[in-house]
Amino acid sequence: MKQNTEEYYLIFKFWSLDSNQWSILIGGVGVLLTFIGFLIAFALYKKQRKDNSRDAFIFFQSSLPELKKSIEKTIENLKKFTENIESDNFSTPILSAALNDKFLSKVNLVDLNRYYSENRKNKIQIFQNFLIDSNFFGDYHSYFTNEINYLRNTYLEKENIYSQWQLLRSNKFFSSMADTDENEDYKLFYANWVKELNENRKIFEFNQQGQPTKVKNRKELVENQIETLARDIFPYIQFSEKANDINLIANKVVAAYADISEIKTKIKYTFEKDIEKFENVLINLNKLTE
């Protein structure tokens, strides 16, 4: 008994294939279509990645000019601040609100890094350095506020002690001169010291009436007047309780001035280092800007 093998054909009979051959053909076509679909999907994926990288780059570049201006203004303000420290002018610099790295959170850094890796290979290291720098300027507002608060609180504490030097030519002086029981040599010494202080034009600014109105040289005041008083009044301490009080006040003023000088030196050094960092950031930023 013969078994007939079924044949199938497409359009023309001479294209006829048996069922096994058709299965193989259809399977092959399916694999081919799958491969073609994969290639199309991969091409679309690459195009999307390229477009995303390009968009990230455009957004990044559009954000740099404002950041650059804010850094330039910060450098200018910090330089003025450090210059004014020596004159005890502690007006707080105003930092631009644009001085931050928030714009980086709005861009996909992976896409941006890919763009530089593929299209700006000569700038990839500069870009990576910029990302490292962003950790510095991104948190600078908070850091700066903390430094200024520390400076003001510490400085004001020492300044209150330093300002007691004025007692040495006012309350303490008048009470000593009015006390008939005080040692006359001590009173004469103290009177001469106050007279010399009030006439010292290296220390004070004077009005038209020839009266001292404002201290213009703290260093001269402390080193050539207050320190001298603390040292030279010492022999009179055994005769006068007021002389002992004056010696204590003078030494406290000298110590407070030394602390203030150290505070100013440290804060000036700190912000000069910050200026140096910002200038380096600006150099990198200029290299990145297109």
Predicted confidence (pLDDT) per residue in 120-147, tens digit: 889 999 999 988 888 888 888 888 888 8
Position 170 scores a pLDDT of: 85
pTM of the model: 0.74
Strand-pair category, 204-206 with 212-215: antiparallel
- How many other CB atoms sit within 10 Å of the CB of residue 173? 19
Residues 239 and 274 both lie in one domain:
no
Distance CA 140, CA 288 (A): 21
Per-residue pLDDT tens over the stretch 107-125:
888 888 888 888 888 999 9
Return the pLDDT at 22. Answer: 55
Look up tokens 């608060």; give the residue.
Answer: 149
Report residue 212: phi and psi, to 5°.
-70, 135
Q: Residue 187 corresponds to which tokens in the numbers above?
A: 């009173």
Query: What is the pLDDT averaged over residues 14-42?
Result: 64
Q: Give the rounded distance of the alpha carbon of 68 from its chain centre.
A: 15
Residues 284 and 237 both lie in one domain: no
User: Residue 277: which domain range?
Assistant: 17-139+268-288
Mean pLDDT over 200-223 rounds to 91
For 138-196, how does the pLDDT look when each residue is reduced to its tens digit (9 = 90+)?
888 888 888 888 888 888 899 999 999 999 988 778 888 888 888 889 889 989 999 99
198 within domain boundaries: yes
Mean pLDDT of 5-10: 50
Residue 10 in any domain: the answer is no
Same domain, 116 and 255: no
Question: Do residues 27 and 104 both lie within one domain?
Answer: yes
